[in-house]
């Protein structure tokens, strides 16, 4: 028996069938802008198409979704990137639309689970995962368990306070890791420094050419990531750390060197778990969603 994974994103929905650790019959559709029931219908259609293409019997659906989530009630509390998703009963509606039992997981937790079970941390007892891109997400996984916390807030590592009084974050607080180390955070600093709009692609290119202003911005962001990793490692004591996301994977070797320098500086006198780069790329969310269901029905 197999399970279906659905990865719900702000711009696209991906569905695929997990067979023996591999995603088969991948289907991608745009996320309907009107939100609500249209998103449910699009997810159900994508799942049906994937099941038909894979030609297998499916037991359940695993759904990876932006959050924060109310796991007890199967609801999305709010998702700023998807219209009309406030206190939205996504599990119940998707079960009605598909006829399958649905198990949901926060998208960053799902990616953490995928890297832990099938990716860069495969074989490890426990994994701390951090992704740095337009946001900072992550999760902590041990054995087959993902840390969700009592209120579904566990692993929200983008919002640990690094610099009280620092730049404002989308969550409304100041000085979060996400307000300091992401692509948009660096673009804000680049605008202030270069007096013009600059995307991360150009900023990273300048950084890799040794431009001093670009270097200061990118290295400072890298340093925040390293310090945050050191703090989190002391909280969770994982066997392996996995670092992924567009910033971490594209800023270049000098960025990663700085992450590691800061990480080691703030781990001095402690046992230092290895840091691996994420291996599953954009597939992590979909795989993790499917794994969430597979673990629930005893297929992984
Ligand atoms: Zn925040």
Residue 21: pLDDT band with limits 50, 70, 90:
confident
**How many Å apart are CA 67 and CA 40, to the nearest integer?**
16
Expressed in angstroms and rounded, the spacing between residue 227 Cα and the centre of ligand 1 is: 17
2-111+282-296 with 122-279: one CATH topology? yes
Tokens representing 162 are 């690094």
Q: How far is CA 110 from each of CA 50, 75, 131, rounded to the nearest angstrom?
A: 19, 16, 12
Q: What's the pLDDT at 260? A: 98
Expressed in angstroms and rounded, the spacing between residue 165 Cα and the centre of ligand 1 is: 12
- Detail the DSSP E strand segments found in the chain: 2-8, 12-19, 22-30, 58-65, 69-70, 75-78, 86-88, 101-106, 126-132, 136-142, 145-146, 240-244, 275-277
Expressed in angstroms and rounded, the spacing between residue 99 Cα and the centre of ligand 1 is: 37
Please give the DSSP secondary-structure letter assigned to residue 172. S
Tokens representing 28 are 């991608």
Q: What's the pLDDT at 220? A: 98
CATH 3.30.420.40 fits 2-111+282-296, yes or no: yes
**How many Å apart are CA 59 and CA 228, to the nearest integer?**
39
Mean pLDDT estimate for the chain: 95
What would the pLDDT profile of 137-187 be if each residue is shown by its tens digit? 999 999 999 999 998 888 899 999 999 999 999 889 999 999 999 999 999
Show me where the domains of the chain are located. Answer: 2-111+282-296, 122-279
Q: What's the pLDDT at 35? A: 87
Expressed in angstroms and rounded, the spacing between residue 135 Cα and the centre of ligand 1 is: 10
Expressed in angstroms and rounded, the spacing between residue 67 Cα and the centre of ligand 1 is: 13
pLDDT at 259 over 90: yes
List the single range of 81-85, 121-125, 144-148, 159-163 with lowest mean pLDDT.
81-85
Q: What's the pLDDT at 57? A: 94
CB atoms within 10 A of CB 253: 8
Q: What's the pLDDT at 294? A: 96
Q: Tell me which of 126 and 82 has the higher pLDDT.
A: 126
Residue 87: pLDDT band with limits 50, 70, 90:
very high
pLDDT at 84 over 80: no
Expressed in angstroms and rounded, the spacing between residue 251 Cα and the centre of ligand 1 is: 22
Expressed in angstroms and rounded, the spacing between residue 29 Cα and the centre of ligand 1 is: 30
pLDDT at 282 over 90: no
Query: Which is the CATH superfamily of the domain at 122-279?
Result: ATPase, nucleotide binding domain (3.30.420.40)
pLDDT at 83 over 80: no
Q: Per-residue pLDDT averaged across 218-228, rounded?
A: 98
Q: pLDDT > 90: what percent of the chain?
A: 88
Expressed in angstroms and rounded, the spacing between residue 30 Cα and the centre of ligand 1 is: 28
Does an H or E element contain 89, and which? none
Residue 253: pLDDT band with limits 50, 70, 90:
very high
Expressed in angstroms and rounded, the spacing between residue 156 Cα and the centre of ligand 1 is: 9
Q: Burial of 146 by CB count in 10 Å (0-12 exposed, 13-18 middle, 19+ buried)?
A: buried
Please give the DSSP secondary-structure letter assigned to residue 243. E
Expressed in angstroms and rounded, the spacing between residue 63 Cα and the centre of ligand 1 is: 24
User: What residues pack around ion ligand 1 (CB closer than 5 A)?
Assistant: 159, 169, 171, 176
pLDDT at 67 over 90: no
Expressed in angstroms and rounded, the spacing between residue 177 Cα and the centre of ligand 1 is: 7
Q: What's the pLDDT at 28? A: 97
- Whether the Cβ atoms of residue 126 and residue 142 lie closer than 8 Å to each other: yes
Expressed in angstroms and rounded, the spacing between residue 234 Cα and the centre of ligand 1 is: 21
Expressed in angstroms and rounded, the spacing between residue 153 Cα and the centre of ligand 1 is: 12
- Whether the Cβ atoms of residue 72 and residue 31 lie closer than 8 Å to each other: no
Expressed in angstroms and rounded, the spacing between residue 256 Cα and the centre of ligand 1 is: 23
């Amino acid at each position: 028996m197999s399970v279906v994974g659905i990865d719900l994103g702000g711009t696209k929905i991906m569905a695929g069938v997990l067979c023996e650790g591999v995603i088969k019959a991948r289907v991608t559709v745009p996320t309907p802008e009107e939100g609500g029931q249209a998103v449910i219908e699009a997810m159900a259609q994508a799942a049906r198409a994937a099941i038909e293409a894979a030609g297998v019997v499916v037991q359940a659906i695993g759904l990876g979704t932006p959050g924060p989530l109310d796991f007890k009630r199967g609801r999305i509390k709010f998702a700023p990137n998807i219209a009309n998703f406030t206190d939205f009963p996504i599990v119940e509606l998707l079960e009605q639309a598909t006829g399958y039992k649905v198990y949901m997981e926060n998208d960053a937790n799902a990616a953490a689970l995928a890297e832990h079970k099938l990716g860069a941390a495969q074989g490890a007892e426990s994994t701390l995962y951090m992704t740095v891109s337009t946001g900072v997400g992550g999760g902590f996984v041990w054995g087959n368990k993902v840390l969700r916390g009592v209120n579904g807030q566990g692993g929200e590592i983008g919002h640990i306070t690094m610099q009280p009084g620092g730049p404002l974050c989308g969550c409304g607080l100041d000085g979060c890791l996400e307000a300091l180390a992401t692509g948009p955070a660096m673009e804000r600093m680049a605008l202030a420094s270069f007096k013009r709009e600059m995307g991360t692609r150009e900023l990273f290119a300048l950084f890799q050419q040794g431009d001093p202003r670009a270097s200061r911005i990118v290295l400072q962001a890298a340093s925040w990531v390293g310090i945050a990793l050191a703090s989190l490692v002391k909280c969770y004591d994982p066997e392996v750390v996995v670092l992924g996301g567009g910033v971490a994977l594209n800023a270049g070797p000098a960025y990663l060197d700085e992450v590691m320098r800061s990480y080691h500086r703030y781990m001095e006198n402690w046992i230092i778990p290895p840091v691996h780069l994420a291996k599953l790329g954009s597939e992590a969310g979909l795989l993790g969603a499917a794994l969430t269901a597979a673990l629930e029905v005893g297929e992984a």
